[in-house]
Structure 1
Amino acid sequence: MPEPLRKLGFLTIGLFDEADPRRGHESTLGVIELGEQLGFDSAWVRHRHLQYGISSPVAVLAAASQRTSRIELGTAVIPLGWENPLRLAEDLATVDILSGGRLNPGLSVGPPMHYERVKDALYPDTADVEDFSYERMRRFLDFVRGKPATDFSGTEGFEVFSDRVQPHSPGLGRRLWYGGGSLRSARWAGEHGMNFLTSSVVKAEESEDFAEIQLSHIREFRAHHPDGERARVSQGLVVIPTDSATADQREKYRAYAERRTPRTRTPQGPARMMFAPDLVGTSDELAERLHAHAAFREVDEVAFALPFTFEHEDYVQILTDMATRLGPALGWRPGS
């Protein structure tokens, strides 16, 4: 039997209608507020550019920080290729200060999605020389953790300058997460003292069994992290409890999972990405399946992903069942 679940979180994409974007963003904030009321430990938002999902998670979480007081707030994940590391460090430190130290930024590296189509808009003068490697992440880590960003500081006239990013939030550097799906990313995150987000997508390198692959990533990360077995890992599968769902909701949820099942059977695309099956069922059924999952048995915190395309009332039902039925079935106790 695995250890009891210590931290229960959830992840939302925050979809909206182009004709009424405020409604979708307010729904996301309402879901985060509900999460706090239900005792969840964390709420995470996805990041989508040039789509109808959250394009500015930092702004959304700044708003959420003022509507909540306890729940931790995370991003899963910010693709750093779209960002200036110094400016992002400033924004995240500011939100962390406003939230009282509750921010958990998750990030990843690599070229922006569809880079050939967006590079002229994103980096019109530097597209061919931008560095999207781990070096970009290393710079970001240094800025957040308080290393100098310039060799100048002091007073100039009436203005005072700092040589490091301001505001500086001392605890934020320990709450940075890397969203990884490969052995290399797991190893790099561990070597650089980050926490590790592992999701429902991994790269098939040494196996085609999703749970085995994910387990290998978790162990690779911890083998290279200064904290060893105590290094933080959060698992992010799509999990949909149906305990209090209506018959129509149960049918919708099962149809959603069935449409996505074919991609879970074999590695997808040139990168050989493996997708985890969506888990749908009663909390007792889900707890049994999770306890049998090799990677779940290695973690004590999760951020279960909400499906992309459901309605607000569906998310209310799913989150309520997660907090009141599934969480306790996994040994979790709600925060106060």
Structure 2
Amino acid sequence: MPSTPDTATPPSRPLRKLGFLTIGLFDEADPRPGHEATLELIELGERLGLDSAWLRHRHLQHGISSPVAVLAAATQRTRRIALGTAVTPLGWENPLRLAEDLATVDVLSGGRLNPGVSVGPPVHWEDVKDSLYPDTADAEDFGYGRVSRLLDLVAGGPASRFSGTQGIEVFSDRVQPRSPGLRDRLWYGGGSLRSARWAGEQGMNLLTSSVVKAEDPDDDAPDFDAVQLSHIRAFRAAHPLGEAARVSHGLVVVPTDGASPAQRARYEEYARQRLPRTRSPQGPARLLFAPDLVGPSEELAERLTSLASFREVDEVAFALPFTFAKEDHEQILTDFATRLGPLLGWRPAG
């Protein structure tokens, strides 16, 4: 492994937790190797001392459709690393059933699960609604109420009007199994001021990413960093814990220290092709994308610590480019742990 660097000045708020996010791509004709590669990547992250591994949902695509199931497997192959979803779109979920699954995996993990959720109708709603909600599509509420139900159920709120014994079976009126610390480890994936404030009011944790909403229609050239900073500050202003409320920063960051010349060229081309979308808000929702950061760790550390939003946090979950190969991800994680992380003031767990 490369030696630990000591030449860069760490940020004013040293990085306390360093994690990664992956989509878990697989071959439709042979899906097992892709899922296995994701589990092996999580194992590598733990060996390197990284603090967290996060999986993203991809329904009806060739990416992991059931992160909770994959993380259940990961609980049996790891012992320390935190395991998260970033994020579970609740429009696809029944909050009661999801609460049972989350509590079960949290118990299996020994209290390491960090579920991240979001709201809104499912992608391609008109095409999937007859399969997803054949009898109730017009009545479904995809707003914050769905998150509130999940929070209440995970916290031990009533799930049934009946409890007691029926014949030889015993029934609970609360979700089983109970995992009391899980409520404090629920995250909201927010990209707007409204969602950031709401998550703070609920006492959740906040996941930020490389996508935010540029909500001022008169601003033709919004600054991504300024928008993201406003979300973080609005969240903490609304949160009972104030400045101590947890926020995880999540940009696409690709260190090239341990990369081969061919890998470096491919990484730089990937970022170049995606750069045009960062120059102005995209689509009716005015989504604003952050540029992907590619380069040597010393350069990346300088660019990250120049961001006001990054200086507000001490946790990150850097997103791995989804189309990269397994060996690329392994090199990137190794550089996170041995080069970039230490430059940001982070130290490996254990």
TM-score normalised over the length of structure 1: 0.99
3-state DSSP of counterpart to 2:212 = strand
Is 1:201 equivalent to 2:217 in the alignment?
Answer: no
Is 1:130 equivalent to 2:140 in the alignment?
Answer: yes
Q: What corresponds to 1:295 in structure 2?
A: 309
**Counterparts of 1:303 and 1:52, CA distance in 2:** 22
Q: What corresponds to 2:253 in structure 1?
A: 239
Q: What corresponds to 1:8 in structure 2?
A: 18
1:271-300: CA deviation from partner (whole Å, max 9, x where unpaired) = 000000000000000000001011000000
How far apart are residue 2 of structure 1 and its match? 2.3
**Counterparts of 2:154 and 2:277, CA distance in 1:** 38
Identity, in percent, stands at 76
For these two proteins, the number of residue pairs brought into alignment is 336
Q: Give the aligned residue type for 1:245.
A: A
How far apart are residue 20 of structure 1 and its match? 1.2
Q: What corresponds to 1:329 in structure 2?
A: 343
- Is 145-154 or 194-203 further displaced after alignment? 145-154
1:166-192: CA deviation from partner (whole Å, max 9, x where unpaired) = 001000000000000000000110000
Which of residues 157, 161, 169 is equivalent to 2:167? 157
3-state DSSP of counterpart to 1:261 = helix
Is 1:216 equivalent to 2:226 in the alignment?
Answer: no
1:230-281: CA deviation from partner (whole Å, max 9, x where unpaired) = 0000011000000010000000000000010000000000000000000000
8 Å CA contact retained: 1:2, 1:298: no
How far apart are residue 146 of structure 1 and its match? 0.5
3-state DSSP of counterpart to 1:131 = coil
8 Å CA contact retained: 1:85, 1:140: yes
Q: Give the aligned residue type for 2:184.
A: R
Q: What corresponds to 2:6 in structure 1?
A: none
1:246-265 aligned at under 5 Å gives the runs 246-265=260-279
How far apart are residue 25 of structure 1 and its match? 0.3
Q: What corresponds to 1:72 in structure 2?
A: 82
Q: Give the aligned residue type for 2:44.
A: L
**Counterparts of 1:335 and 1:64, CA distance in 2:** 18
Q: What corresponds to 2:327 in structure 1?
A: 313
**Counterparts of 2:190 and 2:279, CA distance in 1:** 21
- Is 60-69 or 148-157 further displaced after alignment? 148-157
Q: What corresponds to 2:125 in structure 1?
A: 115
3-state DSSP of counterpart to 2:308 = coil
How far apart are residue 155 of structure 1 and its match? 1.0
8 Å CA contact retained: 1:187, 1:220: yes
Is 1:183 equivalent to 2:193 in the alignment?
Answer: yes
**Counterparts of 1:104 and 1:248, CA distance in 2:** 36
1:144-179: CA deviation from partner (whole Å, max 9, x where unpaired) = 010111221111111111111000100000000000
1:34-70: CA deviation from partner (whole Å, max 9, x where unpaired) = 0000000000001000000000000000000100000
Q: What corresponds to 1:57 in structure 2?
A: 67
8 Å CA contact retained: 1:108, 1:179: yes
**Counterparts of 1:77 and 1:69, CA distance in 2:** 22
Q: Give the aligned residue type for 1:331.
A: G
**Counterparts of 1:218 and 1:180, CA distance in 2:** 10
Q: What corresponds to 1:31 in structure 2?
A: 41
1:185-241: CA deviation from partner (whole Å, max 9, x where unpaired) = 001100001000000000002461000000000000000000000000001100000
Q: What corresponds to 1:44 in structure 2?
A: 54
**Counterparts of 2:120 and 2:156, CA distance in 1:** 24
**Counterparts of 1:295 and 1:17, CA distance in 2:** 37
**Counterparts of 1:272 and 1:248, CA distance in 2:** 35
Q: What corresponds to 1:97 in structure 2?
A: 107
Q: Give the aligned residue type for 1:32.
A: I
Q: Moved runs in structure 1, 4+ residues, more than 2 A?
A: none
Q: Which has the higher contact order (CA 8 A, sep 6+)?
A: 2
Is 1:286 equivalent to 2:282 in the alignment?
Answer: no
Q: Give the aligned residue type for 2:282.
A: Q
Q: Give the aligned residue type for 2:329.
A: Y
**Counterparts of 2:206 and 2:331, CA distance in 1:** 29
8 Å CA contact retained: 1:190, 1:224: yes
**Counterparts of 2:257 and 2:43, CA distance in 1:** 22
